[in-house]
Amino acid sequence: MRDVKVDSSPDTGRNAGGGSTRKQRDGFDYLIVGAGFAGSVLAERLAAGLNKRVLVVDRRAHIGGNAYDEYNEAGVLIHRYGPHIFHTNAQRIVDYLSRFTQWRPYEHRVLGQVDGALVPIPINRTTLNMLYHLNLATDDEAAELLARRAEPVADIRTSEDVVINQIGRELYEKFFRGYTRKQWGLDPSQLDRSVTARVPTRTNTDDRYFTDTFQMMPLHGYTRMFEKMLAHPNIHLLLNTPYREIHDEVRYDHLIFCGPIDEYFDYRYGKLPYRSLKFVHETLDREWLQPVAVVNYPDEKVPYTRITEYKHLTGQQHAKTSITYEYPSAEGDPYYPIPRAENAELYKRYQALADATPGVTFLGRLGTYKYYNMDQVIGQALALYKRIEEATPTPLST
């Protein structure tokens, strides 16, 4: 076995976990692949809660997975992999993360460029009034307008059905069709209903993107929060380390794999489809670009889906502003599992293989092929920890 050296991260300038000759000699209780939310939360719990020796590896040069944020050359805090807004209804998840960060209250607002105007998304009464030059004054009036436009669909299966059933074809085409075709490279009629169902339609004037009880951003950013989470002496971290390069060289009892499940099994049943994005980051020599953090571009002729301006999210004051364009792509890192029946079927085959493979557990958005938000991944990791904890015999007190 090669000596496990503990890398320091060029991006965070930290050395996660000290060297320990005992750990190198005896190996690890757990090898965790992926230092995103799934892997980091589980590592923290196993190390702090059960005193397990954990090695976390990630092929990227940094911790945090897709939630990684960093100060760019201009000194503006940006999210390398697009905007990440924390929202949840689960008090226990907030309590857990609050051990590692303070918070900045932040309610996310999104506008859409539609028919030459910037209108609230999700569609609400203000959106309808702006679009149709109306003065709908109550929820009931807005609900009546939507009911007149809605085209009832008997069997709602797809992302097209769910929207048309609720608001009709015209609004569907203005807000959903183009955006979805760009984002997924598929027509909404080819995607599970759960995708567009993420975005509700409202008859009130609530213009928040999320209505969760808790909506906030880590005060000093996600990366700082991850650093604290992983700063346990039982946790060793190796960055720039793909699983394949390390797995023969370290001794461990159990593997937690938070990368793509099909990759782990060498694509035995074929590739699980993932959607990727190209992030184009820019810094502008002006204080602000847009009135809210995210502006969506549902028009299919515009090649990107949305522009994010980070200072709205982070509250940072700066003379310049940094933004990101998102260009959906078939090639590149796997960011989105693609929710549709045939992919769910293929995933089930991999899941059966996973169930029949002892010593490894799959976790996270890529490991379980689920279009999960951050809080759902944290919940999944905490639930796995609970199962491990319950199955661990309590040491006899001496």
Total number of residues that touch ligand FAD (CB under 6 A): 34
**CA-CA distance, 169 to 176, in Å (whole number)?**
10
Dihedral angle at the C-alpha atoms of 75, 81, 86, 92, nearest 10 degrees? -110
**CA-CA distance, 235 to 58, in Å (whole number)?**
13
Q: Shortest approach of ligand UDP to residue 349 CB, angstroms? A: 25
Which residue, 57 or 145, is less far from ligand FAD as judged by CB?
57
Given 6, 46, 47, 58, the residue binding ligand FAD (CB under 6 A): 58
Given 296, 361, 368, 380, the residue binding ligand UDP (CB under 6 A): 296
To the nearest 10 degrees (0 to 180), the angle between helices 37-50 and 374-391 is 30
Given 258, 272, 293, 295, the residue binding ligand FAD (CB under 6 A): 258
Within 148-177, the residues that bind ligand UDP by CB under 6 A are: 175-176
Question: Would strands 336-337 and 235-238 be described as parallel, antiparallel, or unpaired?
Answer: unpaired
Q: Does 65 bind ligand FAD (CB under 6 A)?
A: yes
Given 69, 80, 82, 146, the residue binding ligand FAD (CB under 6 A): 82
Q: Does 273 bind ligand FAD (CB under 6 A)?
A: no
Q: Does 198 bind ligand UDP (CB under 6 A)?
A: yes
Diameter over CA atoms, the chain: 77
Q: Return the CA Rg of the chain.
A: 23
Binding partner of residue 340 among ligand FAD, ligand UDP, none, CB under 5 to 8 Å per kind?
A: none
Q: Does 35 bind ligand FAD (CB under 6 A)?
A: yes
Side chain identity at residue 153, one-letter code: V
Q: Does 196 bind ligand UDP (CB under 6 A)?
A: yes
**CA-CA distance, 157 to 357, in Å (whole number)?**
33
For the beta carbon of residue 317, count every other beta carbon within 10 angstroms. 7
Place of tokens 């650093």: 227
| The residue count for the chain | 398
Q: Which region, left, alpha or beta, applies to residue 193 given φ > 0 means left and ψ of -120 to 50 means alpha?
A: alpha
**CA-CA distance, 225 to 99, in Å (whole number)?**
9
* Alpha helices in the chain, H assignment, sequence order: 21-26, 37-50, 91-97, 125-132, 139-149, 159-172, 178-184, 193-196, 222-230, 243-246, 261-264, 311-314, 341-355, 364-367, 374-391
Q: Does 308 bind ligand UDP (CB under 6 A)?
A: no
Q: Shortest approach of ligand UDP to residue 337 CB, angstroms? A: 11
Q: Quick check: helix, strand or coil at residue 325?
A: strand
Binding partner of residue 176 among ligand FAD, ligand UDP, none, CB under 5 to 8 Å per kind?
A: ligand UDP
For the beta carbon of residue 147, count every other beta carbon within 10 angstroms. 13
Which residue, 151 or 263, is less far from ligand FAD as judged by CB?
263
Binding partner of residue 310 among ligand FAD, ligand UDP, none, CB under 5 to 8 Å per kind?
A: none
Q: Does 81 bind ligand UDP (CB under 6 A)?
A: no
Q: Does 298 bind ligand FAD (CB under 6 A)?
A: no
Q: Shortest approach of ligand UDP to residue 85 CB, angstroms? A: 8
**CA-CA distance, 371 to 381, in Å (whole number)?**
15
Q: Quick check: helix, strand or coil at residue 227?
A: helix
Q: Does 186 bind ligand UDP (CB under 6 A)?
A: no
Q: Shortest approach of ligand UDP to residue 368 CB, angstroms? A: 16
Q: Shortest approach of ligand UDP to residue 302 CB, angstroms? A: 12
Given 195, 229, 256, 374, the residue binding ligand UDP (CB under 6 A): 195
* Piece of 70-78, 130-138, 344-352, 372-380 that binds ligand FAD (CB under 6 A): 372-380
The residue ranges that bind ligand FAD (CB under 6 A) are: 33-39, 57-60, 65-67, 81-85, 242-243, 258-259, 263, 277, 335, 364-366, 372-375, 377
The residue ranges that bind ligand UDP (CB under 6 A) are: 112, 121, 175-176, 179-180, 183, 195-196, 198-199, 296, 298
